[in-house]
Structure 1
Amino acid sequence: MHACGRAKSSSILSRRGRISRPQVSRLERPGTTRKRAVPYPRIIFASVQSRYDFPCLAFPRPRPQRLPDGPLLIASASPCPERGATRTKTVSPSGDGLFRHSAGVCKMTTKKVLIVHEQIGFVADRLPATFDVLKAWEPLTPAERDSVTAMVVSGDIQLQNTYLSEFPNVGLIACLTSGYDGVDVSFAADRGIKVTRAVEVNHEDVADHAMGLLIAWTRGLVTGDKLVHSGKWNGAAKVVTRSLSELSVEIVGMGAIGKAVARRCLSFGVPVLWWGPREKDGLPFRRVPDLETLAHENNVLIVASSADRSNRHMISGKVLDALGPDGLLVNVARGSLVDESALIERLRSGKLAGATLDVFEQEPTDPARWRDVPNVILTPHSAGATRAVLPKLVKQLISNLEAYFGGRDLLTPIAA
């Protein structure tokens, strides 16, 4: 075996149970400090990933067997980053974990991750075994709260600052979603907590959904479906709908989603204008100076902007009035961006032609709120949730967690 314990052979034990290359790591019996080689012909190693992180060493954790009257022996064939270290980990019967180096003893630490929102509880089963996962909807002891160093949240659900304060050692809030309006980034930054989110993972699917809502409302697909199912279609009168050629689209927010929506609009021959708080170079679309002008010049307003506390209700009653009685609102961004009460009032009064919404101010939204509202199509915040996207969201989430625990630059940090 090399000085750092690197194996010269991939075989640890022969099938007969006799020790072959490399020699088994040294074992320390309880109550002694002397190391001696102990042949253990019946031990069998099954490589599994560890739920523990050793700051001085990272290696796959084999599944150990208990010695008849002593501690556990764990051996690994992975490289050791500390030169001259003896790669042996022993766990005494009391459960205390020590990693024996020639230079000293390193205590075992864990990557404690808390899944905050039960809506994304499926993430717990998809995280690597190197993370010790806790769930906020299950009872937590004070010691467990103190041990949490990273949180996983759904960025569109409120993370209360008072709740965050109950976890004194959290250093990272990782949003599974691209939106992060549920997290007070400034509050987190003041406490030295970093925040990450998903970037350019589900924008194409959200854009597809936006176009689906636009086409469904413009061509009366939902109304036509109900007409056929109800038996009220008798052929006496032809159902006439709008044409996409009558539309001009304004997009609020020209990020990844906005650009993807714009490309799709152009493929349908629909002209595009946009507005955002900042100019962007290289866009082939004209930027309008303010939201009211944008709404006045077009008859479809698609909201694709990110949301934070500064732009709450930016789609106000005045903007909806500028959109007018022939206008359609499409929101696939965040419900907080739209003054929902003003929207409902204008739909009921006929001051706005229609609305198609995938997001709401409160989610799940109260169905009674929309029961008598005409000319709306509602979907349950599903625009970005596809079978193709979920693995990508989890993969990017894991990359941020591993970067944080590994002391590397985060993949998709949010600036405070």
Structure 2
Amino acid sequence: MKPCLLILIRLADEELAGFGEQFDVIYAPDADARAKAVAQRGKDVRVVLTNGTTGLTADEIDCMPALELAGALGAGYENIALDHARERGIALCNGAGVNADCVADHALALLLAAVRAVPQFDAACRTGVWRDALPMRPTVSGRRLGIVGYGHIGEKVARRAAGFGMELGYHNRKPREGVEARHFESVTALAQWSDFLVIATPGGAQTKHLIDRAVIDALGPQGFLVNVSRGSVVDTAALALALKAGTLGGAGLDVYEGEPQPPAALVGLENIVLTPHVAGASPDVRFATLRHFAENAARHFAGEALLTPL
């Protein structure tokens, strides 16, 4: 008998069909279907597939006595009740590193778009405005780039930035060995040193509003902020205030507080580039992350070590 898999995130029909070969699938991608599935089929569930935003609660875990593996499709896992799951002996995994290249690509795209005002220049060109009527924009190459969170994604961002001849600095919980970048003990100190600041740290309570008014002020009126981590890491009100006042040069966000609703405080501003949490999404990445989860599950049921345990 195939193990019962509860899927709490939205998948395409062909993706669901692929899991059907390995699991008895229960598909519950919205709140109503989720509550119904947990209540009616919770006792059968042995595996859960979710993501950091959708999560998995302690109460839901308690309704699944047979649950033995919970996986986050991407790298994030901030809304999964990890401690509760561990107390039950439930194995945990995520997709760390699988989409790192794609996210790093997008981070550099946001940085270039924000610093070089690509969306604004595109709009001007479409209305017949020539360059003589437009302000010149800063150069990206050769500047100082600070990275908050030097994990899989942060490392990939650094590699790309090196190609632009940037000087690299970073803040991490612990200094990384063998890193050709300067470590800073605090985010504020890193921001003071940086021209551009890329946020690639995990979300969750420990990093909520890590990028606050003090950090934004330290980055300064010539500085640019890019966030490809979680919206909760940046204080939206402080960011909006700085962008409006010109005490921050600009920003590029793929994530923001209150997703999926547009960030009302930011959408009317011209010195920010926004994308709807798509940095880690592409057809090849999607395929790879689904295969990664399936491999983690296969290893679990074979009694082997998980590829990316939590």
Give the structure-1-normalised TM-score: 0.69
**RMSD of aligned residue pairs (Cα, Å):** 2.0
Match for residue 90 of structure 2?
193
Letter in 1 for 2:234: V
Matched, 1:290 2:182: no
1:129 counterpart = 2:21: yes
Q: Is the 8 A contact 2:257 2:263 kept in 1?
A: no
| Aligned counterparts, 1:304-315, within 5 A | 304-315=200-211
Summarize deviations over 1:338-394 as a string: whole Å, max 9, x none: 112221122122221111000112221335332323311001111111122111101
User: How far apart are the structure 2 equivalents of 1:264 and 1:141?
Assistant: 44
* 1:15-65: CA deviation from partner (whole Å, max 9, x where unpaired): xxxxxxxxxxxxxxxxxxxxxxxxxxxxxxxxxxxxx2xxxxxxxxxxxxx
Q: Which moved more, 1:205-214 or 1:365-374?
A: 365-374
Q: Secondary structure of the residue that 2:264 maps to in structure 1?
A: helix
**Consecutive unaligned residues in structure 2, runs of 5 or more:** none
Cα distance in 1 for residues equivalent to 2:116 and 2:39? 57
In the alignment, structure 1 residue 384 sits paired with structure 2 residue 276: no
Task: Say which SS state the counterpart of residue 133 (structure 2) adopts.
Answer: coil
Alpha-carbon contact 1:174-1:197 (below 8 Å) kept: yes
Q: 211, 214, 222: which is aligned to 1:326?
A: 222
1:221 to 100, 110, 118: 118
Amino acid at match of 2:91: K
More helix, by proportion = 2
**Structure 2 equivalent of residue 355 of structure 1:** 251
Pairwise CA distance, 1:405: 2.3
Alignment match, 1:244 = 140
Task: State the AA in 2 paired with 1:183.
Answer: I
The partner residue of 1:368 within 264, 274, 289 is: 264
Shift of 1:235: 5.6
Asked whether the 8 Å contact 1:156–1:177 carries over to 2, the reply is: no
Q: Is the 8 A contact 1:328 1:353 kept in 2?
A: yes
Provide the C-alpha distance between the structure 1 equivalents of 2:213 and 2:13, rounded to a whole number of angstroms: 37
In the superposition, relative to structure 1, how do residues 216 and 142 fare at CA in structure 2: closer, same or farther (>3 Å)?
closer
C-alpha distance after superposition, 1:318-357 (max 9, x if no partner):
1111111111110111112111222112212222111100
2:168 to 235, 253, 272: 272
Deviations 1:193-233 (A, max 9, x none): 221001221111111111111111111111100101233x0
Q: Partner of 1:113 in structure 2? A: 5
**Percent identity for Structure 1 against Structure 2:** 33
Q: Please tell me the residue identity of whatever aligns with 1:255.
A: G
In the TM superposition, what is the alpha-carbon distance from 1:145 to its structure 2 partner? 1.6
Q: 2:67 aligns with which of 170, 176, 193?
A: 170
User: Structure 1: which 5+ runs fail to align?
Assistant: 1-51, 53-109
Work out whether residues 210 and 330 of structure 1, in 8 Å CA contact, stay in contact via their aligned partners in 2.
Answer: yes
Q: Which amino acid aligns with 2:192?
A: H
* Partner secondary structure for residue 392 of structure 1: helix
Alignment partner of 1:410 is 2:295:
no
- Corresponding residue number in structure 2 for 1:156: 53
Kindly indicate whether the alpha-carbon contact (under 8 Å) linking 1:115 and 1:124 is maintained by their aligned counterparts in 2: no
With 259-268 and 123-132 compared, the bigger mean Cα shift is at 123-132
SS of structure 2 residue aligned to 1:368: coil
The residue that corresponds to 1:8 in the other structure is: none
1:316 aligns with 2:208: no
CA contact (8 A) 1:111 1:405 kept: no
Change (3 A) 1:143 1:377: closer
Equivalent position SS for 1:140? helix
Relative to 1, partners in 2 of residues 1:315 and 1:235: Cα closer, same or farther, differing over 3 Å?
A: closer
Does 2:239 correspond to 1:343?
Answer: yes
Greater RCO, CA 8 A, separation 6+: 2
User: Are the structure 2 counterparts of residues 238 and 145 from structure 1 closer, same or farther at C-alpha, using a change threshold of 3 Å?
Assistant: closer
TM-score after normalising by structure 2 = 0.91
Conserved 8 A contact 2:8-2:54:
no
